[in-house]
Structure 1
Amino acid sequence: MIRIVSLTDAGQRLGERLQRKLPDSELWFKPKPFTETVQQAFKQGDRLILICATGIAVRTLAPVLGNKHQDPAVLVLDEQGQFVIPLLSGHEGGANDWANEVAEVIDGQLVMTTAKPYLRPIYTVGMGCERNCPEAELQQLLARCLSQAGLTLDSVDSISSIDIKADEVGLLSLAAKLGKPYVVWDKAQLATVESLLSTKSDYVFKTVGVYGVAESAALYSAQQHTGESAELVLVKQKTAKATCAIARSYPAADS
């Protein structure tokens, strides 16, 4: 869910424009109590567009900040819609790319302060699942993850997993249906990105030899595309039978 928060009449008009353009969004005009309302939305994982001063946004959210792997994306806009600033979770939460999309919607200027904003990243999806997991469950999970990361399917380069899933029917059929390459890696390859995982599962390690299939596969695939380090855009998300994570890697500046 996207919560658009405005505090002035001009901000309300901008918020109404955004609400018409952004699916699954809701406009809050001068919500009361302001601080508690915005903090609660943030804590429950809603993406926020705050049409207010950056200082107000920072002071409001500072007490409830967790970490870049879990906090939802937050954008700050001026009430005229001239500037769009990805304030929180720029990389991992997808705020940078989302801010670019919002800037295009309102013909505003993206103001990005995080690293490598001028390079086009490669996004890769990693997935794991129980044997014979239905394709429908995998597709629903992937759609949810893309939405959480503020990405579209067109942004995704490939879907990947561990080599013991090379013949997993659901993953194979999903990749084919979506027109994406399906790539698998062995545990020795996936182990090279172990330090980048958000969490490590001893159970998964005992079962397949790596501490996390979805995150490892996404990270390793992203690195192979650019030859550069990768980072998680969305940490592992789960259903009863499947896991999914999204990673990104930027090409070298001179490539």
Structure 2
Amino acid sequence: MSRAYLAFTEKGMALAHRLARALPGSVSRCGAGGVRLAEWTSTQFAQADALIFVGAVGIAVRAMAPLLEHKSTDAPVLVISPDGRFVISLLAGHWGGGNSLCRHVAALLDAVPVITTATDCGERPALDLFLRTAGLRILDWDQLPPAQACWLEGRPLPLWDPCGAVADGEGGAFLRQEDLPEQEGPALCVHWQRLPARQGRLRVALPSLVLGLGCRKGIPAPLVATAVEGLLLRHGLEPQALAALATVTEKAQEPALQELSRRLGLPLLTFDAAELAAVTTPHPSTAAGERFGCTPFSVCEAACLLAARQLGTTGATTPGDEGTLPVSQGRLKDGPLAGTGNGQQADGTGAPVARLLVEKAKVAGQLTLAVALSDRGLRRNDD
């Protein structure tokens, strides 16, 4: 985590350097020949993971105000009083981790943490923080306040979670639903499918999909981006439910795949050809086998299956250790998926299970795509 400290006095600089020894980061001084406040704030807000001012709250507020965009993307900001007695969580307390950082810094300084978010002042955890801790991604930030209010007031929050991704919250309760809630009022809906938006419905993506890619050298990045967007849309898959991209090792540095990884903020996982060739898939390619000197295999299908199984929540796996993976046959055609069952294909090992959701799709003779589902999206809550 990168941190940026800004002080305004010699005493503040000493405090910032003291903190930087425990929590490494850049230390700057404003004034006295140092940095300019607006320029420093603009640069660090875009680059650093957290900003820590040692000075007055008002200075920090005025500096930050023009830069604020959304709580889901803003960096956490702390303000430490010049005497080091108080540490104030000013911005991105929940989703950005500012409140947690505030407590940590206060403990290092033997100071008082000042946290004003409602959930931290009461006995219940913040709903958005609870969801983030569960590894989920909020889609409808405008629907969070009514759900948060329901949560804070102790009223059971309707929850549609067919994959069993959400446990009952600490200090909070859910009213679990068998069907997608259609009633008025707040409801929490968790899945990897693309769900319709509606008033009161807080849609949350379950990151459990892996996109496998095979491509020709020098493929244009816009072609890849457009093809991926279209594939997900056609099959009713939520883009924010993607957990990773996957391909063969030889394509790790392909510019178009690197650009897609960067744009989506997802890791690009790679596997050796021999590992991919060991995976049974519906559409193995003789050409791929000949190129890499092994049995025919499908780069996109095998890569997404291996990555999905590696990302399975019942236990981490190492590529190359798994041999043949169980594959659910049958091409996805029109519309979103219906139920997926419990996903427990019988391999007898208890290892994470991967299911192929979208079989190999060919694009313009230059690209192949496939989508697999990790066991996190297959398992269901049996309670």
Hey, what does 1:18 align to over in structure 2?
Answer: 19
Q: Which one of 88, 93, 118 corresponds to residue 91 of structure 2?
A: 88
Higher helix share: 1
Hey, what does 1:27 align to over in structure 2?
Answer: 27
Q: Which one of 202, 206, 209 corresponds to residue 195 of structure 1?
A: 202
State the SS of the aligned residue for 2:202: helix
Change (3 A) 1:61 1:120: same
Q: Give, in angstroms, the shift of residue 214 of structure 1.
A: 5.7
Matches within 5 A, 1:65-214: 65-117=68-120, 118-119=122-123, 121=125, 122=130, 123-126=133-136, 190=191, 195-197=202-204, 203-204=231-232, 206-207=234-235, 209-213=237-241
State the SS of the aligned residue for 2:134: strand
| Structure 1, 68-77 or 113-122: larger mean CA deviation | 113-122
CA distance in structure 2 between the partners assigned to 1:113 and 1:105 by the alignment: 20
Flag structure 1 segments of 5+ consecutive residues without an equivalent: 128-161, 164-186, 216-235, 245-255
Change (3 A) 1:105 1:206: farther
CA deviation vs aligned residue, 1:88-136 (integer Å, no higher than 9, x gap): 1111111011111111111110111112114474422259xxxxxxxxx
State the SS of the aligned residue for 2:53: strand
CA distance in structure 2 between the partners assigned to 1:34 and 1:28 by the alignment: 10
Change (3 A) 1:104 1:120: farther
CA distance in structure 1 between the partners assigned to 2:237 and 2:18 by the alignment: 50
Hey, what does 2:338 align to over in structure 1?
Answer: none
Hey, what does 1:61 align to over in structure 2?
Answer: 64
* TM, length-normalised to structure 1: 0.55
Which residue type is aligned with residue 26 of structure 1?
Answer: S
Change (3 A) 1:239 1:39: same
Change (3 A) 1:71 1:45: farther
State the SS of the aligned residue for 2:78: strand
CA deviation vs aligned residue, 1:41-69 (integer Å, no higher than 9, x gap): 10234310001111100111111111111
Q: Give, in angstroms, the shift of residue 239 of structure 1.
A: 2.1
Q: Check if 1:44 corresponds to 2:25.
A: no
Q: Is the 8 A contact 1:84 1:108 kept in 2?
A: yes
Q: Which protein, 1 or 2, shows the higher relative CO under an 8 Å CA cutoff with sep ≥ 6?
A: 1
Q: Is the 8 A contact 1:50 1:77 kept in 2?
A: yes
Q: Is the 8 A contact 1:6 1:50 kept in 2?
A: yes
State the SS of the aligned residue for 2:71: coil
Which residue type is aligned with residue 109 of structure 2?
Answer: I
Which residue type is aligned with residue 29 of structure 1?
Answer: R
Q: Give, in angstroms, the shift of residue 196 of structure 1.
A: 3.9
Change (3 A) 1:119 1:205: farther
Q: Is the 8 A contact 1:4 1:49 kept in 2?
A: yes
CA distance in structure 1 between the partners assigned to 2:38 and 2:114 by the alignment: 25
Q: Is the 8 A contact 1:204 1:212 kept in 2?
A: no
Which residue type is aligned with residue 212 of structure 1?
Answer: Q
Structure having the higher Rg? 2
Change (3 A) 1:55 1:205: same
CA RMSD between the two structures: 3.6
Change (3 A) 1:195 1:237: farther
CA deviation vs aligned residue, 1:2-38 (integer Å, no higher than 9, x gap): 0011001111111111011103x12112242222112
State the SS of the aligned residue for 1:125: coil
Change (3 A) 1:38 1:101: same
Q: Check if 1:239 corresponds to 2:267.
A: yes
CA distance in structure 2 between the partners assigned to 1:202 and 1:195 by the alignment: 24
Change (3 A) 1:97 1:36: same
Q: Is the 8 A contact 2:8 2:54 kept in 1?
A: yes
